Amino acid sequence: MKLLLRDVVKRYGGLHALDGLTLEIEDTNCLALIGPSGGGKSTTLRLVSGLEAPTSGCLLVDGEEIGNDFERRRQFRKQVGIVFQAYNLFPHMTALANVALPLEKVHGYPKADAIQKARSLFERFQLEDHMLKKPAELSGGQNQRVAIARAMAPDPDIIFLDEPTSALDPEMTVEVLDAIYSLIETDKRIVIATHQMGFAQRAADTVALIAEGKLVEAGSSNQVIENPQTIRGQKFLAACLDR
């Protein structure tokens, strides 16, 4: 996976969520975006996944410009999977329907094939006993694993995960991280915004630290997390790791 962001600005009214962010990743399987809350990591993920357009600047994924063209971003989103912090499951549907319906309606699967594909993913993520439950009947960890199954279902080129454990207690967090590790083991390409430093170091081959809307530093996970080169990086990671 290759990413190029050059002088990317993202404004929400008067707020600069990203302020001239430049990041170039040449070849990585799993990229972790880390940094303080409100620093810009989730905004960066929303831009590179095609969910939002930058206010200005250049943004390419695997050489394809994402940018401001709505139709181009819409087509790009069909090729990727996205897992949100708050699951974004349809509350009135069963877990099985939440996974099968997008396959049928968005990706053109025959209904029976969509259901079969969804069932196989429920088995993979150890959710067989919960297929016919609605989101309100599931734990947070189970809902997030359903969301991961939904993102996986169409065999996407890249999976983007936006703080997938931030709303979970420690036990549920372990459930979800185990599910993400299983994705990495299948060589799925992943971009994840996370506050879990241990996970970022173990799972990602590349880490980008973003703060105040700018790139602080980027490199291998061990290099950035164990030996940050900037004062801002050292301060952030010292606070996270209690060194």
Q: Under the phi-then-psi rule, with left for phi > 0, alpha for psi from -120 to 50, and beta for the rest, what region is 122?
A: alpha
Q: What are the φ/ψ torsions at residue 185 (nearest 5 degrees)?
A: -65, -20
pLDDT tens track for 108-152: 999 999 999 999 999 988 899 999 999 999 999 999 999 999 999
Distance, in Å, from the CA atom of 234 to the CA atom of 184, rounded to the nearest integer, reads: 28
Give the confidence band of 39 by pLDDT, cuts at 50, 70, 90: very high
Give the confidence band of 41 by pLDDT, cuts at 50, 70, 90: very high
Give the confidence band of 179 by pLDDT, cuts at 50, 70, 90: confident
Mean pLDDT of 58-75: 88
| pLDDT at position 67 over 80 | no
Question: Among 3.30.70.100, 3.40.50.300, 3.30.565.10, 3.40.630.40, what is the CATH number of 1-79+162-243?
Answer: 3.40.50.300
**What pLDDT, on the 0 to 100 scale, is given for residue 242?**
60
Mean pLDDT of 215-226: 94
Residue ranges covered by each domain of the chain:
1-79+162-243, 90-156
Distance of CA 153 to the CA centre of its chain: 15
Mean pLDDT across the chain: 91
Distance, in Å, from the CA atom of 5 to the CA atom of 135, rounded to the nearest integer, reads: 36
Give the confidence band of 243 by pLDDT, cuts at 50, 70, 90: very low
Instruction: Read off the amino acid at residue 189.
Output: R
| 3-state SS string for 56-105 | EEEEEECCEECCCCHHHHHHHHHCEEEECCCCCCCCCCCHHHHHHHHHHH
